[in-house]
Amino acid sequence: MLKLHDFCNRAPMSTLFGGRIADALPVLWVLATGEFDADVAEAQAKIDARLHRRFKIKVGRGDPGDDARRAVETASAIGCPCSIDLNEAWSFADSTRALAILDGSGVDILEQPLPRADLPGLADLARRSSLAIMADESACSTSDMIAIIRERAASYVSLKISKAGGPSRMLAIARMAQAAGINLFGGTALDSSIGTAANIQCCSTLPLAGGTELFMPLLLADDILEEPLAYRDFCVDVPSGVGLGVTIDEAKLRHYERK
């Protein structure tokens, strides 16, 4: 009998989970300076380099109305689809005030505006707005997913291996979302290149309506892989080698080791 360890030494991780349906995944970039001019300039540089053509704007630290207006102006100036991410920062009242500004703009997805437990509030926002609501912190387990489906609290779910507690658990959340007609997005949780490679392998087996944000290796000053992940043409290539498809540079690993 072929054991799991032996299988992963012979085939890509994606094969273990049903096989990839894409050889490259779209990757958005997060704009987090909080300043209109800086965000627009950063986005244009990413577009010119053919790295990213979809963007997520981080908001939530300022006045909700001001943040919403900045997001609308940024999306308009960039001329590309944009989402905004709150990380649970707004109240329901904040969110309804901001939706009046965001509806009909270049912002099309609102990610986790309310605290994770407020699924009725998310569902109410979803009914009120033309924006899609994405659940992130609200969707950490299959039991969370059952609650989201029951409340009809989101039309997108952000998937992360580390958040779910492993690849199989992440994919179980994804399959439940698919069955309920909820769109999938490949999220990131400040992963290393190794963690990013694992997320890429899993995400390559899924129909990702929202693409991914698996950009973390691009923020690293150095890498511990012999061959870095390949970002080009607004996507990241799915590694084709066995297992995660990447090889660790043992010398780099020893260099950065902390005891």
Q: Which two tokens stand for residue 123?
A: 């569902």
9 within domain boundaries? no
Instruction: Quick: pLDDT tens for 184-235.
Output: 999 998 899 999 999 999 999 999 999 999 999 999 999 999 999 999 999 9
Put simply, whether the predicted model's pTM sits higher than 0.85 gets the answer yes
**C-alpha dihedral over 152, 156, 157, 159, to 10 degrees?**
160
Give the pLDDT score at 74: 96
CATH number of the domain residue 244 falls in = 3.20.20.120
6 within domain boundaries? no
2 within domain boundaries? no
Q: Which residues of 204-215 are buried (b: 16+ CB within 10 A; e: fewer)?
A: bbbebebbbbbb
Give the pLDDT score at 61: 86
8 within domain boundaries? no
Instruction: Judge whether 220 and 212 are in contact, CB under 8 Å.
Output: no
The residues annotated with a catalytic role in the active site are 58, 213
45 within domain boundaries? yes
221 within domain boundaries? yes
Domains in the chain, number:
1
123 within domain boundaries? yes
Instruction: Quick: pLDDT tens for 140-193.
Output: 999 999 999 999 999 999 999 999 999 999 999 999 999 999 999 999 988 999
* Distance in angstroms (rounded) separating the CA atoms of residues 118 and 192: 31
Per the structure, the complete domain to which residue 165 belongs is given by: 14-256
Sign of CA dihedral 174, 189, 60, 72: negative
Instruction: Quick: pLDDT tens for 105-145.
Output: 989 999 999 999 999 999 999 998 899 999 999 999 999 99
* Distance in angstroms (rounded) separating the CA atoms of residues 147 and 159: 16
